[in-house]
Amino acid sequence: MGFATDCIHAGQEPDPTTGAIITPIFQTSTYVQEGIGKHKGYEYARTQNPTRRALEKNLTALEGGTDACCYASGMAATQAVLTLVKAGERVVVSDNVYGGTHRLFTKVLARYGVEFAFVDASDAAELDRRAGDFALLWIETPTNPLMKICDIAALAAVARRRRALLVVDNTFMSPFFQRPLALGADVVVHSTTKFLNGHSDSIGGVAIVKERAHAEWLQYVQNAGGAILSPFDSWLVLRGTKTLALRMPRHEENGRRVAHFLREDPRVRKVYWPGFPDHPGHEVHRRQASGFGSMISFDLGDRDGADRLLRAVRLCSLAESLGGIETLISHPATMTHAGYTQAERDALGIGDGLVRISVGCEDAEDLISDLGSALKAV
């Protein structure tokens, strides 16, 4: 089936008891059993829930995986995936990943004997030469917030040579634009909070895998740790994915127009958007994704400039998060990337003047007019 058809139908059949076309919210904690060991495949709702399962099947189809597990947040999905490595093993991570990912790895999981090394993953050959041995390679592409591009197929080959896993956080692109499993990745992670749900009204995460053994382990962890996506949130994300193929082209078209508008304004020092032909890695991105998305960062020089713009916008909302139909604008240094130290941010180039915008589905003229007025305050 085509992608849009899968968005609407994959994993979802009419409810067998009523014919309801929409998967019901199975808001139950347990299931009545007929006798010892005699049940309908559902015993306890931490372990199995039909609404969550429908979403897992839907997302498996969209990413072209074997199976998926949905968790209570993107970070819960990340934490679950990291249980694929053991104490004493090394994890290599692309630099300038989401600040929460950096925090989980360096402040929490590093306490359990896993070593994390953050490297520039935009040059796969260089990473291969310098990274040493590792059990898992974790990347974002484009990276958050500087939109560095990592070559998924080349990094999959680097990981394979070490018998290591390649995990791609595909939150920024969504499977509409980029499908890392087809390029050689072993696991794809999403914060479903973002484009997959698309309406800024749910927190959730998913890990989609290729290998059956990884699916079995992640299901085991999902039940053992219990950080499950609730039935209601699963239902919301299912409703969100139905329109993914409609929303993403609109996000991208608006993103393209906003990126070009920002680039022409003399008060904006630099615009980071993978769609510009001179953006580093543009050709790699074109090869591995079918669009550039609507995540843009831009530099206003210093914190005061950023603050003035962020106070002056009216239609764009100053808020953490991304991927909703409404445009959100944020300040990475104090919001999404506050978990990095100042020195780490300086080394990466996440300056105090950097602003990140997740361009929504409003009328592009209205967004451009809002940003144009706000830039006058900078």
The amino acid present at 65, given as its one-letter code, is G
Distance of closest approach, residue 322 Cβ to ligand PLP, in angstroms: 6
Q: Which of 361, 348, 360 is nearest to 147 (CA)?
A: 348
- 369: which 2 tokens? 């007019």
Between the alpha carbon of residue 308 and those of residues 14, 327, 366, 373, the distances in Å are 51, 18, 19, 11
| Contact between 193 and ligand PLP per CB under 6 A | yes
Q: If you ran DSSP here, which 8-state letter would residue 189 be given?
A: E
Q: How many helices (H) and strands (E) does the chain have?
A: 14, 12
Between the alpha carbon of residue 363 and those of residues 251, 256, 257, 316, 367, the distances in Å are 10, 13, 11, 12, 7
- 48: which 2 tokens? 């199995």
Among 48, 171, 288, 327, binds ligand PLP (CB under 6 A): 171
Question: 40 an active-site residue?
Answer: no
- Cβ of 307: how many Cβ atoms within 10 Å? 18
- Closest to ligand PLP by CB, 252 vs 305, is 252
Question: What are the φ/ψ torsions at residue 168 (nearest 5 degrees)?
Answer: -115, 125
| Contact between 178 and ligand PLP per CB under 6 A | no
Site string for ligand PLP, 126-165 (x = CB under 6 A): --------------x---x---------------------
| Contact between 175 and ligand PLP per CB under 6 A | no
Question: 194 an active-site residue?
Answer: yes
Question: 278 an active-site residue?
Answer: no
Question: 98 an active-site residue?
Answer: yes
- Cβ of 263: how many Cβ atoms within 10 Å? 14
| Contact between 69 and ligand PLP per CB under 6 A | no
Site string for ligand PLP, 93-122 (x = CB under 6 A): -----x-xx---------------------
Interface of this chain with ligand PLP, residues 307 to 336, rule: CB under 6 A: 321, 336
Where along the sequence are the contacts to ligand PLP (CB under 6 A)?
Answer: 73-75, 98, 100-101, 140, 144, 169, 171-172, 191, 193, 203, 205, 321, 336
Active-site amino acid positions:
46, 98, 169, 194
